[in-house]
Amino acid sequence: MEFAFQTFGLYEDVLEVARFSEDNGLAAIALPDHYLMAMDEEKAKTTPASDALIQFAGLARETSDLDLVVLVSPITFRHPAVLVKTAITIDRMSGGRFTLGIGTGWMDREHEVFGFDYPQLSERFAMLEEALAYTRAALSDDPVGYSGDHFTLEAFPISPRPTGKVKLLVGGSGASKTPRLAGTYADEFNISLGDDLAIRIDRAHTAATAAGRDPDALTLSSVGQIIGGATESDLDHRLGVVASAVGVPKDELAEQFRRRQRNAPMGTYDQLRERFTELEDLGITRFYIQGVHDAAYRSELVDALGS
């Protein structure tokens, strides 16, 4: 299993995590693409929400080995032409290390605050599928056009071209639409954990086959927060630290994690290693670790889980 961190914040904070990741042999760094970084209204007013794609351009020049992965860019924010041009630019700046994740968008409040159009979910899924098809056409070796209800691309040579291949990522927890889109268009399926995980993986593989693609070429990854410790006492201490950081009682946070145990791993390091072995057996090869961690715990976690 490869591990990576998904982080956010001011550029200097993101760069510190990126440098730690590169120094410790991690596979990637991921950033979310949000214009608000907190669900709580008051926290959202003071939590820095930088432009992730611009931050990636900086990381492209200040790192040399890490995959740079956006998890994920809402199609409501940018026209797919802007995403394509930005992705190619970051790809060339990084020597071919950029992965473009595109999603439907889900945070109502950031759309309200900034005045983004926010259609119903069914229409956003239609926009997402068109954006994925548009992006595939734009990144193809030969000029290929695309015509849909939302987006249109002329079959015109686009310059510059990527240095390698800009990878596309689709992620989410949907039972049917998301696996189908991932299998049809994506290079990486970032699949939320859950009891129906194997079923959704199979649906993505079936969709890839139906689209004439190699299902085994689809990278499977997941994402979530991890709370761990070497012993039960250490685990309890870490739970208290995280609870304090997010401003909820420790017992309440523990209950949240127990309810979400399948997609928010919590346990001793031995238990976590067993859980990640189960995920590897299902074909998941990378896990993006969410949350804000101090440097000491970040290092401890990487040492305990391996990289």
Enumerate the β-bridge partners of residue 219: 188
- In this prediction, residues 117-122 reach a mean pLDDT of 97
Q: Give the pLDDT mean for 279-297.
A: 90
Give one word for 92, left, alpha or beta, with left for phi > 0 and alpha for psi -120 to 50. alpha
Count of structural domains, the chain: 1
Residue 67 has pLDDT above 80, yes or no: yes
Q: Report, as an integer, the average pLDDT of 186-215.
A: 96
Note down the domain range covering 166.
2-305
Angle at 167 between CA 109 and CA 144, to 5 degrees: 100
**pLDDT at residue 263, as a whole number:** 55
The average pLDDT across 8-26 equals 96
- Report the distance separating Cα 224 and Cα 228, nearest Å: 13
> In this model, does residue 292 exceed pLDDT 90?
no
User: With contact defined as beta carbons under 8 Å apart, do 100 and 169 qualify?
Assistant: yes
Conformation bin of residue 30: beta by default, left when phi > 0, alpha when psi is -120 to 50: beta
- Cα dihedral: 225, 228, 232, 236 (round 10): -50
Residue 214's domain is classified under what CATH number?
3.20.20.30
pTM for the full predicted model: 0.94
- Tell the residue number behind the tokens 């909820």, with chain if given: 248
